[in-house]
């Protein structure tokens, strides 16, 4: 069994979901949640920068669109996978006379994840990036997207779904709704990293 299963971005639309807009009575959003395609990389990058700004670390995103393309779509075993949320009403597209389009649609949400292996648990899914664009928040889109990520984890037989939630963000309440357990408390530990310049 492959640790990283083949990912076919052509198996495209995973679901269409209707969520009610809290702000405007009687209005609903019909969104599409689908696997990301290579053409979505600029939008994934834009949403990642939006998240960095929200977390008040606007200059800290070093990853480039090329990194996303290369590691997600140009190698045999991609290092990550991504689900994106598209609002068909948000047309970033330019329609040509023959019906083809020049630009991908503007994305309103993204989940980036990859598989890992825990010597205690086995195969795990690690959710690296999860964001719903600011003006769309609070309408149930985050829940719809998170449920899809959980579905992927289930289908791929992962034992746990793991992620970091930043202290003081409303996301913590969101994750608690899904019965997320605080691993810092569970393991009485901290997450560490070593910068490249300090590799010995």
Ligand X SMILES: CC(C)(COP(=O)(O)OP(=O)(O)OC[C@H]1O[C@@H](n2cnc3c(N)ncnc32)[C@H](O)[C@@H]1OP(=O)(O)O)[C@@H](O)C(=O)NCCC(=O)NCCS
Contact track, ligand X, 33-52, x by CB under 6 A: ------------------x-
| Catalytic residue, candidates 114, 136, 175, 192 | 175
Work out which of 107, 139, 148, 149 binds ligand X, going by CB under 6 A: 139
List the interface residues with ligand X, window 118-137 (CB under 6 A): 130-132, 137
* Exposed/middle/buried for residue 36 (C-beta within 10 Å: 0-12, 13-18, 19+): buried
**Is residue 169 within the footprint of ligand X (CB under 6 A)?**
yes
x-or-dash string of contact with ligand X, 51-70, rule CB under 6 A: x--x----------------
Rank residues 84 and 165 by Cβ distance to ligand X and give the closer one.
165
Is residue 175 part of the annotated active site? The answer reads: yes
Task: For residue 14, give the H/E element and its range.
Answer: strand 13-20
With binding defined as CB under 6 A, does residue 114 bind ligand X?
A: no
Q: What does the buried/exposed string (b/e) look like for 88-127 if buried means 16 or more CB atoms within 10 Å of the residue's CB?
A: eeeeeeeeeeeeeeeebbbbbbbbbbbbeeeeeeebbbbb
Comparing CB distances to ligand X, the nearer of 5 and 58 is 58
Beta strands in 21-60 (DSSP E): 28-35
Total residues in contact with ligand X, by rule CB under 6 A: 19
Q: Whole-number minimum distance, CB 85 to ligand X, in Å?
A: 9
DSSP E strand stretches across 23-181: 28-35, 81-86, 107-118, 122-132, 160-162
Site of interaction with ligand X (CB under 6 A): 51, 54, 130-132, 137-143, 165-166, 169-171, 173-174
């Amino acid at each position: 069994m492959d640790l990283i299963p083949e990912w076919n971005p052509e198996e495209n639309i995973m679901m269409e979901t209707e969520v009610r807009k809290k702000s405007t009575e009687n209005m609903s959003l019909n969104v599409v949640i689908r696997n990301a395609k290579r053409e979505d990389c600029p939008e994934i990058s834009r949403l990642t920068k939006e998240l960095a700004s929200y977390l008040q670390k606007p200059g800290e995103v070093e990853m480039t669109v090329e990194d996303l393309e290369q590691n997600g779509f140009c190698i045999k075993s991609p290092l990550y996978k991504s689900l994106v949320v598209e609002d068909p009403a948000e047309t970033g597209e330019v329609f040509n006379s023959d019906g083809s389009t020049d630009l991908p649609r503007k994305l309103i949400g993204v989940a980036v994840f990859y598989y890992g292996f825990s010597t205690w648990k086995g195969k795990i899914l690690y959710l690296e990036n999860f964001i719903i664009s600011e003006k769309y928040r609070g309408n149930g889109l985050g829940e719809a997207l998170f449920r899809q990520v959980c579905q992927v984890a289930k289908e791929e037989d992962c034992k746990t779904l793991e992620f970091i939630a930043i202290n003081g963000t409303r996301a913590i309440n969101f994750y608690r709704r899904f019965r997320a357990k605080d691993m810092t408390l569970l393991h009485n530990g901290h997450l560490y990293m070593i910068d490249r310049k300090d590799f010995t």
